[in-house]
Amino acid sequence: MKIIINDNELQVKEGKTILEAALEAGIKIPTLCYHKELAPYGACRLCVVEIAGGARPSLQASCLYKVSEGLVIKTDSERVRRARKIVIELLLALSPDSDKLKTLAKEYGAENTRLKPKNKGNCILCGLCARVCSEIVGMSAVNFSHRGIERKIRTPFDKINDSCIGCGACAYLCPTGAIKIEQA
C-alpha cells in the first residue's frame, strides 16, 4: 500500500505501524518506550506524528498507529516539534539525569524545562523493563503497581523474588538508567 511520509511516497506492507514504516525508510522518529522485539506500548509519546485528513490533522503515537492506504504523515512539522518538546519537558521532570533525555532536550530546545524535577529515581514509566521481563524472559519479575501519580515499577510486594533470574535485560533496556544491577 502507498503512504506519504514527509512528502515522500512509500510502498509499505499492510499491518505495519507508522514508526516501523518510517524506520524502514530511514526516517528518524524519536522513541524511549519502543523496542522492535516488544509489543508497542505508546507510553513515552515521543513518537507522535501528524496525520493529515479530516477537519483537523491529528497527533498520533506512531508506534501504535497502523498504516492505511493513502495515509499522509508529517514527522517533523512545527506542531509535532512543539508536542515533543512538551513531552521531553515532562519526562525531564521525572528523569533529569538521563543522558538520552538531555540529548533530546537539546535537539528540541527543551533544556530549560519549566517543571521542577520530581526526584522519583529517574523512572519515566516507559514499561520496557516490565515488557522485556514478561515478553522475552518470560518471568514478570517487575511490573507496574498503583495508578495515576502513584504509578511505579516494582517487584511483587517490593521484595526480591524467585522469578528474577538476574539476567539484567530490564537494566539493559532502561532508557534512563533507573534500573541498576547490583552485584552480590
- Look at residue 159 and tell me whether its pLDDT is greater than 90: no
Residue 176: predicted pLDDT: 94
In a domain, 140, yes or no: yes
In a domain, 167, yes or no: yes
Whether residue 179 contacts residue 171, with contact meaning beta carbons closer than 8 Å, is answered with yes
In a domain, 52, yes or no: no
In a domain, 179, yes or no: no
pLDDT tens string 92-138? 989 998 999 999 999 999 987 788 777 667 899 999 999 999 999 99
The whole-angstrom separation of Cα 48 and Cα 59 is 6
In a domain, 155, yes or no: yes
pTM of the model: 0.90
pLDDT tens string 65-96? 999 999 999 999 999 999 999 999 999 989 99
Q: What angle do CA 129, 132, 135 make, to 5 degrees?
A: 140
In a domain, 137, yes or no: yes
In a domain, 133, yes or no: yes
Question: Looking at the 3D structure of the chain, how many domains does it have?
Answer: 1
Enclosing domain of residue 159: 128-173
In a domain, 144, yes or no: yes
Residue 184: predicted pLDDT: 62
